[in-house]
Amino acid sequence: MSLPIISADERLKETKGIKGCIFGKSGIGKTSLLWTLPAEKTLFFDLEAGDLAIEGWQGDTIRPRTWQDCRDIAAFIGGPNPALRDEHPARQCQGRHS
């Protein structure tokens, strides 16, 4: 295993973005907050098939239907966990999105 040193110049040139999730109990304002986000930069992860409240919102949506879909998306967003064995499902799904 090699562990490269990333220089400050290399690190500062990297394109970065913010990944965030909105969680909370019913009625706390998650949908209202979604309406304030830039639609062109926001992906609505519809876990409850409940997009009626955002009808008219112009952002993109993804609707995972299985646990494997959710796991694959989590691995894609968060990256693979190198501490897991190669045969672990969370390691196996990483290659599908490369």
Q: Could you read off the pLDDT of 24-55 as tens digits, one per residue?
A: 888 898 888 989 999 998 888 888 766 788 88
Q: What ranges do the domains of the chain cover? A: 30-63, 66-98
What local confidence, expressed as pLDDT, does residue 97 receive? Answer: 41
Total-model pTM: 0.61
**Are 78 and 91 spatial neighbours (Cβ–Cβ below 8 Å)?**
no
Q: Is the pLDDT of residue 56 over 50?
A: yes
Distance CA 39, CA 42 (A): 5
For 88, the token pair is: 């672990």
Q: What value does the mean pLDDT take over residues 48-69?
A: 84
What average pLDDT score do residues 57-61 get? Answer: 90
Confidence label for 91 from pLDDT (cuts 50, 70 and 90): low
